Structure 1
Amino acid sequence: MSNYIYLVNFPIFPHTPSGGKTVLLSKGFEVEMYTGTPEGEIVGLSDRIVADLEGFVTEPDSRNVEYTTPPLCSYDRLLCALVQPRQKLRAYLQRLGNYTIIPGSTLSLGGSDRFYRSDPNNPYHGYIEQTYGTKVVTASIHINIGINDPELLMRACRLVRVEAPLYLALSASSPFIDGQATGNHSSRWATFPKTPSYVPLFQSHKHFIQWTEEQLVLGTMQNVRHLWSSVRPNGNRRPYDLNRLELRICDLIVDPIALLAITALLEARIWQLMADPSLDPLERSSLPANTRAEDLIALTEANEAAAAHQSLDAQLRHWEDGRVIRAGEWIAEIYQEVYAIAKKRGFSCFLSPLQKILREGNTSQQWLKLHSQTSDTHSVITQAIQAMADQERELEDKLCQPLVA
């Protein structure tokens, strides 16, 4: 939701994990998080953080703060780019008082009854508060993949759009709101106001430009950033100058290893599409040709709702042939398809942890399992807060310092 741009095109440059020259796509993250106390109370501190720490920006509600990683091709460098700003933020929060970072993508333990404006003088923030309320006060991960060719970018957006429910299923981390289990694994995506209400599959760059210009005239979008769909083309001068795919559907993934695994799946799938352009849903799907684009959107929106409800256990309809398949099984099928691609390009070791998520469950499933044993939401969240801090400290000690250049 922030006014997030890169001032230069996402680079694509050689990265050589093992032996021969191997090119990887550039990748960058927008990381939205809550701040608060170790007891799970979310406290708005973004104005002070942004004033004192370089690299952090505000969201419309002061309880969120966001940082971005630079576009990098190397997964090991990405790992440090994810961990080090959080360590800097943690140290700053400790100087302010007994504050920390809160995992999860919703106001898990309370606070959904009120909006806390980070910038009372910003008219766009005022519009967001009046129009959406605290439905938008969520935390998430936006994954950006550098693609400079606009038509390839549109093709990739079409494929990722119809498979976005799978990335939501892997990342779900918001089963609670105001201390209660909501019945959804991603309460964030179940309630988030997707805007505009209908976003088509863009058939070309020209189609995307024309559609965006029309929405701005109609007022369904307040500005070019006001496109809150599961995936969108992005760039320095939207909709004209584009350089990346932005996957926006994921809940906050606080485990950097899990985030890199999900990103590796996305990158490998895009490489697969580049090698086989017929993987484009508008070409590959068996849905009727005359209504295919509209039918794919209807199928995908139903799949998004199902994934928000039951994540990896959701029963989805496959975009290729309409068959019903469990989300976790569909992900496992794609994993098998793309593993050789990731191995050839030297990043299969970062893809492999996906198997752990499929085996042990995503964050929401793990939290709900604990909750079923105790019915104590507060205990689940406080344990997660400590576990997140411990993991980041361990990762920084083991990996980041030797890699700093």
Structure 2
Amino acid sequence: MEPKFNGPAYTVGIEEELMILDSSSYALVNRIDDLVEDSPHGEIKPELMESVLEISTRPAADLREAAEQLRGLRRQVRDKAAEHELAIGSAGTHPFAKWEDQRITAAPRYRDLVDELRFVARQEVIFGLHVHVGVDDPDKAIHVANGMRVHVPILLALSANSPFWRGDATGLASTRMPIFRAFPRVGIPPYYADWSDYERRIGFMVDAGVMEDYTWLWYDVRPHPNFGTVEIRAMDGQTHVEHTLGLAALIQAMVKELSEHFEAGKRLADFPYEMLDENKWLASRHGLEGELVDLPERRTVPAKDLARRLYDRLKEHAQDLGGADALEGVLDLIERGDEAHRQRKVYEANRDFTELLRDIVGASAP
């Protein structure tokens, strides 16, 4: 495994998994082949299901450049979909789709995945947001990934956007989280001492034949040596592009803070794994409407208060990185509620999933 953590630091890449919908019924449809095309803004590519489309920006120097690319990609797939009487929506789950109706993409990696995981892979009709941030040293990348583990719950709470599943209100803010939890090698990642420790332990798994390479690790945070980034994978897909960009700006600022922590020779606090995982569950259950344990304290605080504290603390880092404007998307989530809250509000008016999806499609447009 050859690490490519050679800079520049703090570049940003954003990946969004989007729903392909019939433009009249808003049902999820297996039409990825109609939508894949070249793009001047980044990549448009298939995912595991033929009803899922992924857009990926190229590495951007700052959030302004990333925002331009992401809006361009959303605009392009929206317009291409309209040509085929389709629509594009963004959320953590489709409110009434069933996995039994989805086809697996005809790509060797995905066929291998289904062959290995069976039902666990087939039922994964979920839509996530992944953010990559460039790091310029392999040991620093491990330090950042270790430090990001404590932030996973608040990132999930901020991004919670999947309160419905298979035509039912689940009572969760992020239903996507427990669905994906059925996969192996997911969730809060292990703590690694340094790059050599990571390389040795991942090499053990590859040599044992349980996975092909490190990309078969689907942890909430992982170093990505081929890209020279730390990738954060914990979030639900966001309906409003401003919220995607706000979360990306917050994550970029977190990576900068942790990188400077490493460069100063400081050690990370040692939080119990089970407490990190419990906080993640609380975030999935309640989103921003609930409480999280305020580590290292042994008390709970409103998730919105914790998010506000992080926003205030990291605002200067975001300013230094050119992401202050994008970071305002996080403030909107704090002040007006996560998107799961917004979905419930729209649905409760008439208890009409078609109306909810029409709203999601409209709000997903850049």
Instruction: Give the TM-score of the pair, scaled to structure 2.
Output: 0.89
The residue number in structure 2 matching 1:209 is 199
Q: Which digits, 9 at most, give the CA deviation of each residue in 1:259-297, with x for residues without a partner?
A: 221121112222222333499996334xxxxxx5xx2x2
Please, which of 62, 67, 72 is the counterpart of residue 60 of structure 2? Answer: 72
Please, which of 100, 107, 113 is the counterpart of residue 100 of structure 2? Answer: 113
Partner Cα separation in structure 2 for residue 339 and residue 354 of structure 1: 11
Q: Are the counterparts in 2 of residues 106 and 187 from structure 1 also a CA contact under 8 Å?
A: yes
The one-letter amino acid of 1:162's match is V
Greater strand proportion: 2
Please, which of 208, 212, 219 is the counterpart of residue 229 of structure 1? Answer: 219
Q: Are the counterparts in 1 of residues 93 and 125 from structure 2 also a CA contact under 8 Å?
A: yes
Structure 1 residue 243: deviation in Å? 1.2
Match of 2:10, SS state, is coil
Please, which of 244, 251, 254 is the counterpart of residue 229 of structure 2? Answer: 244
Partner Cα separation in structure 2 for residue 300 and residue 139 of structure 1: 23
Q: Are the counterparts in 2 of residues 175 and 187 from structure 1 also a CA contact under 8 Å?
A: yes
Partner Cα separation in structure 2 for residue 349 and residue 217 of structure 1: 46
The one-letter amino acid of 1:196's match is R
Q: Does 1:44 align with 2:30?
A: yes
1:169-208 equivalences in 2 (<5 Å) = 169-192=157-180, 193-196=182-185, 199-208=189-198
Structure 1 residue 360: deviation in Å? 0.6
The residue number in structure 1 matching 2:356 is 380
Over 3 Å counting, the alpha-carbon distance change for 1:386 and 1:281 in structure 2 is: farther
Partner Cα separation in structure 2 for residue 329 and residue 280 of structure 1: 30
Q: Are the counterparts in 2 of residues 342 and 348 from structure 1 also a CA contact under 8 Å?
A: yes
1:23-38 equivalences in 2 (<5 Å) = 25-38=10-23
Q: Are the counterparts in 2 of residues 159 and 281 from structure 1 also a CA contact under 8 Å?
A: no
Task: Report sequence identity in percent.
Answer: 20
Q: Does 1:92 align with 2:80?
A: yes
The residue number in structure 2 matching 1:259 is 244
The residue number in structure 1 matching 2:46 is 58
Q: Are the counterparts in 2 of residues 115 and 129 from structure 1 also a CA contact under 8 Å?
A: no
The residue number in structure 1 matching 2:328 is 352
Q: Are the counterparts in 2 of residues 230 and 247 from structure 1 also a CA contact under 8 Å?
A: yes
Partner Cα separation in structure 1 for residue 303 and residue 210 of structure 2: 32
Unaligned runs of 5+ in 2: none
Q: Does 1:327 align with 2:315?
A: no
Over 3 Å counting, the alpha-carbon distance change for 1:306 and 1:135 in structure 2 is: farther
In angstroms, what is the RMSD of aligned CA positions?
A: 2.6
Q: Are the counterparts in 1 of residues 343 and 356 from structure 2 also a CA contact under 8 Å?
A: yes
Q: Are the counterparts in 1 of residues 5 and 138 from structure 2 also a CA contact under 8 Å?
A: no
Match of 2:215, SS state, is coil
Partner Cα separation in structure 1 for residue 186 and residue 79 of structure 2: 41
Structure 1 residue 186: deviation in Å? 0.9
Partner Cα separation in structure 2 for residue 203 and residue 383 of structure 1: 46
The residue number in structure 1 matching 2:131 is 143
Q: Are the counterparts in 1 of residues 99 and 124 from structure 2 also a CA contact under 8 Å?
A: no
Which shifted more, 106-115 or 119-128? 119-128
Over 3 Å counting, the alpha-carbon distance change for 1:264 and 1:129 in structure 2 is: same
Over 3 Å counting, the alpha-carbon distance change for 1:61 and 1:280 in structure 2 is: farther
Q: Are the counterparts in 2 of residues 264 and 350 from structure 1 also a CA contact under 8 Å?
A: yes
Partner Cα separation in structure 1 for residue 318 and residue 352 of structure 2: 41
Structure 1 residue 218: deviation in Å? 4.3
Q: Are the counterparts in 2 of residues 195 and 221 from structure 1 also a CA contact under 8 Å?
A: no
Q: Which digits, 9 at most, give the CA deviation of each residue in 1:44-81, with x for residues without a partner?
A: 1123333x445322112111111210111222221110
Match of 1:138, SS state, is coil
Partner Cα separation in structure 2 for residue 179 and residue 278 of structure 1: 49
Q: Are the counterparts in 2 of residues 60 and 117 from structure 1 also a CA contact under 8 Å?
A: yes
Q: Are the counterparts in 1 of residues 150 and 276 from structure 2 also a CA contact under 8 Å?
A: yes
Instruction: Give the TM-score of the pair, scaled to structure 1.
Output: 0.81
Q: Does 1:268 align with 2:253?
A: yes
Q: Are the counterparts in 1 of residues 93 and 176 from structure 2 also a CA contact under 8 Å?
A: yes
Structure 1 residue 99: deviation in Å? 0.3
Q: Are the counterparts in 2 of residues 273 and 279 from structure 1 also a CA contact under 8 Å?
A: no
Structure 1 residue 156: deviation in Å? 0.8
The residue number in structure 2 matching 1:395 is none
Partner Cα separation in structure 2 for residue 152 and residue 64 of structure 1: 34
Structure 1 residue 115: deviation in Å? 4.0
Unaligned runs of 5+ in 1: 1-6, 13-23, 237-241, 286-291, 393-405
Partner Cα separation in structure 2 for residue 156 and residue 374 of structure 1: 45
Partner Cα separation in structure 2 for residue 196 and residue 172 of structure 1: 21
Q: Does 1:82 align with 2:70?
A: yes
Aligned length: 357
